């Protein structure tokens, strides 16, 4: 318990009159933290803290790493800068050793600052010093990020840039075709090939696979546990909203949790330029921001986040479930949540396959946005994802043409996006049109567009073509015992019983499957990959968290 006598020994309160010390003591919380426990996370609303005993690390997330900015010692205090500026915390605080901290809620702190001039003067002096040191930090040279060297028209270079940005790894890109900015490090050494990836410490990786690239920049690509004698409680396949929600709920509820993601956390939502309808974000948030926050949250609760690894098989052995990863390892777990979403449907037109990544892109490919500056770009699709992408590119391209097969935009797109597009002078919408051919020598140069009503074809010059024509489940790697519908979506709950009955197969347990349980007991499905799902960020998040509730029930019942 915090007492007025205890406060007297803290330099900050030494000159405070006795009656004010008593008031502060009455309002202060007494926090005891174990080593490694978080007091505050970057981005959260702060409180005012005084370190009474122990040591507190100040950490800032830069790229993939938590970098230690400083360490507070007993008697030091913090939180006043964001509190007085009304901003979220700009760094995180974590106990370095067992520590004791006094906490004042924002209202109490503000009351105290206005009621106690001696205290206020000391706090404002410290705040000024800290803001000045932040200003100094911001003008100092930033750390060198990862450097990528490769051609704009090289698919492998596009994949490297896309992978880094979706994994929130900052990088600068040099194109040898533009002289690579005269940087001597961009020249190939004997045996090297483009794309070349140079780590901040100078290590070079030549034409790396995605997994090698992930390891090169310090991302986790191997689960730490998962042997048959050390299984996870729950293993999640896929890092979109559904998978990340399962990871956050699983780890926060004490389950030993790992998530395996083929490319980068965020899934489809991570490629969205602005999600405007997610509860609690009245001015919207980008998919990148949502996934970065969720990733941080899952890691904070202790979930392992393994990226650049695809799951290629699944089975049951000796009462445990397992998945196999590309590259061969088997990872064991008591329960599995399949949250592997859907993948973009391919455009079936001559010339497309040879130009993917060389001017033709599936999805919004936000890494390409800068490269479209002032140019003529085309988007194919009439859904919300195409609408959002058109909004994004309208900020860069000279002209954005949205080609829609159907007779109107309203049929497939939310009204708010239709209205937003109408305000953009450089966005044209053409309905009843489809792309029937693409042309280019090494990179896209033109597309052929057909009018579905008249059949008339027209050749148009194009710098980029973005294809957003819906998505399908990709579940061929799953075993036959895992029942799917005719389109490959995974069946759960009541649908499992109906489909099993139709196939004259049997559910093996005396109880019915749980709502999100598949035909393999202990394997659950959540989000877009699930038969009958709603295909929204919020429903994916909801199902991911529900799946964990069923995992608990399954584990309790399985003993």
Ligand X SMILES: Cc1cc2nc3c(=O)[nH]c(=O)nc-3n(C[C@H](O)[C@H](O)[C@H](O)COP(=O)(O)OP(=O)(O)OC[C@H]3O[C@@H](n4cnc5c(N)ncnc54)[C@H](O)[C@@H]3O)c2cc1C
Residues lying near ligand X in the complex (CB under 6 A) are found at: 237-243, 260-263, 267-269, 271-272, 275-277, 310-311, 339-342, 364, 384-385, 388, 527-528, 535-538, 540
Angle ∠(491,231,553) on CA atoms, nearest 5: 50
Phi, psi at residue 467, to the nearest 5°? -110, 120
Nearest-10 Cα torsion for 253, 257, 263, 269:
-10
Nearer to ligand X, 236 or 447 (CB): 236
Nearer to ligand X, 275 or 450 (CB): 275
Cβ(180)–Cβ(152) under 8 Å?
Answer: no
**CB 310 to ligand X: min, Å:** 4
Q: Encoding tokens for residue 445?
A: 């140069």
Nearer to ligand X, 112 or 541 (CB): 541
3-state secondary structure of 513: coil
Pairing of strands 48-53, 77-78: antiparallel
3-state secondary structure 426-473: CEEEEECEEEEEEEECCCEEEEEEEECCCCCEEEEECCEEEECCCEEC
Nearer to ligand X, 256 or 260 (CB): 260
Nearer to ligand X, 98 or 221 (CB): 221
Nearer to ligand X, 149 or 391 (CB): 391
CA separation (Å) from 176 to 173, 206, 213, 290?
A: 10, 14, 20, 34
> For the chain, what is the largest distance between any 2 Cα atoms, rounded to a whole number of angstroms?
89
Cβ(484)–Cβ(478) under 8 Å?
Answer: yes
Nearer to ligand X, 41 or 273 (CB): 273
Nearer to ligand X, 262 or 334 (CB): 262
Nearest-10 Cα torsion for 384, 264, 493, 548:
-120
**CB 287 to ligand X: min, Å:** 7
Nearer to ligand X, 63 or 540 (CB): 540
Nearer to ligand X, 257 or 268 (CB): 268
Nearer to ligand X, 271 or 420 (CB): 271
**CB 120 to ligand X: min, Å:** 45
**CB 162 to ligand X: min, Å:** 12
Residue appearing with tokens 């036959």? 480
**CB 263 to ligand X: min, Å:** 5
**CB 291 to ligand X: min, Å:** 9
Nearer to ligand X, 103 or 262 (CB): 262
Helix axis angle, 241-252 to 287-300, nearest 10°: 20
The count of other CB atoms within 10 Å of the CB of residue 268 is: 22
Q: Encoding tokens for residue 101?
A: 């901290």
Nearer to ligand X, 388 or 401 (CB): 388
Nearer to ligand X, 78 or 163 (CB): 163
**CB 523 to ligand X: min, Å:** 14
**CB 508 to ligand X: min, Å:** 25
User: Phi-psi region for residue 8, left (φ > 0), alpha (ψ -120 to 50) or beta?
Assistant: alpha
**CB 385 to ligand X: min, Å:** 3
**CB 535 to ligand X: min, Å:** 4
**CB 288 to ligand X: min, Å:** 12
- Cα distance between residue 57 and residue 41, in whole Å: 12
3-state secondary structure of 48: strand
**CB 289 to ligand X: min, Å:** 13
**CB 480 to ligand X: min, Å:** 17
Cβ(294)–Cβ(205) under 8 Å?
Answer: no
- The per-residue DSSP string of 218-281 comes to T---S-S--STTS-EEEEEE--SHHHHHHHHHHHHTT--EEEE-SS-TTHHHHT-S-B--STT-
Cβ(57)–Cβ(37) under 8 Å?
Answer: no
Residue 92, C-beta contacts closer than 8 angstroms, at least 6 positions apart: 38, 40, 41, 42, 58, 59, 60, 61, 66
Q: Encoding tokens for residue 414?
A: 């939310």
**CB 330 to ligand X: min, Å:** 14
Q: Encoding tokens for residue 440?
A: 């280019």
């Amino acid at each position: 318990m915090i007492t007025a006598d205890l406060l007297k020994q803290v330099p900050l309160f030494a000159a405070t009159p006795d009656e004010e010390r008593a008031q502060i003591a009455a309002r202060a919380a007494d926090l005891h933290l174990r080593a490694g426990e978080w007091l505050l996370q970057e981005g959260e609303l702060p409180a005012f803290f005084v370190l009474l005993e122990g040591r507190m690390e100040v950490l800032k997330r830069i790229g993939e790493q938590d970098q230690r900015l400083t360490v507070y010692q007993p008697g030091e205090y913090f939180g006043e800068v964001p509190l007085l500026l009304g901003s979220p915390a700009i760094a995180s605080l974590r106990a370095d050793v067992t520590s004791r901290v006094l906490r004042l809620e924002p209202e109490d702190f503000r009351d105290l600052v206005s009621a106690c001039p001696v205290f206020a003067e000391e706090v404002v002096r410290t705040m000024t010093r800290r803001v000045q040191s932040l200003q100094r930090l911001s003008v100092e040279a930033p750390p060198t990020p990862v450097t990528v060297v490769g051609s704009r028209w090289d698919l492998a270079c596009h994949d490297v840039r896309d992978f880094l940005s979706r994994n929130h790894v900052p990088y600068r890109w040099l194109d040898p075709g533009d002289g690579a900015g005269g940087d001597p490090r961009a020249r190939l050494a004997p045996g090297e090939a483009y794309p070349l990836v140079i780590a901040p410490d100078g290590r070079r990786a030549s034409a790396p696979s995605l997994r090698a690239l992930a390891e090169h920049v310090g991302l986790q690509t191997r689960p730490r546990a998962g042997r048959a004698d050390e299984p996870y409680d729950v293993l999640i396949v896929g890092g979109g909203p559904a998978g990340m929600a399962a990871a956050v709920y699983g780890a926060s509820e004490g389950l030993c949790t790992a998530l395996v993601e083929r490319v980068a956390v965020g899934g489809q939502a991570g490629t969205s330029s602005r999600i405007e309808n997610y509860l609690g974000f009245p001015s919207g948030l980008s998919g990148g921001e949502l996934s970065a926050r969720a990733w941080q949250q899952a890691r904070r609760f202790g979930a392992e986040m393994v990226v650049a690894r695809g799951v290629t098989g699944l089975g049951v052995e000796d009462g445990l479930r397992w998945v196999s990863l590309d590259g061969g390892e088997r990872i064991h777990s008591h329960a599995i949540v399949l949250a592997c979403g859907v993948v973009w449907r391919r455009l079936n037109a001559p010339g497309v396959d040879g130009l993917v990544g060389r001017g033709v892109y599936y999805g919004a490919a936000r890494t390409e946005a800068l490269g479209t500056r002032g140019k003529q770009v085309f988007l194919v699709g009439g859904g919300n994802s195409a609408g959002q992408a058109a909004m994004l590119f309208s900020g860069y391209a000279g002209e954005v043409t949205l080609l829609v097969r159907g007779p109107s935009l309203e049929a497939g797109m939310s009204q708010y996006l239709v209205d937003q597009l109408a305000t953009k002078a450089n966005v044209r919408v053409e309905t009843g049109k489809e792309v029937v051919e693409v042309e280019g020598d090494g990179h896209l140069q033109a597309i052929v567009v057909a009018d579905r009503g008249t059949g008339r074809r027209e050749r148009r010059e194009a710098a980029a073509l973005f294809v957003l024509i819906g998505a399908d489940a990709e579940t061929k790697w799953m075993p036959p015992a895992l029942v799917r519908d005719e389109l490959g979506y995974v069946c759960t709950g009541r649908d499992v019983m109906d489909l099993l009955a139709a196939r004259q197969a049997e559910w093996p347990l005396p109880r019915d499957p749980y709502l999100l349980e598949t035909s393999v007991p202990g394997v659950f499905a959540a989000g877009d990959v699930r038969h009958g799902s709603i295909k929204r960020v919020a429903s994916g998040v909801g199902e991911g968290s529900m799946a964990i509730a069923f995992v608990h029930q399954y584990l309790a019942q399985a003993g």
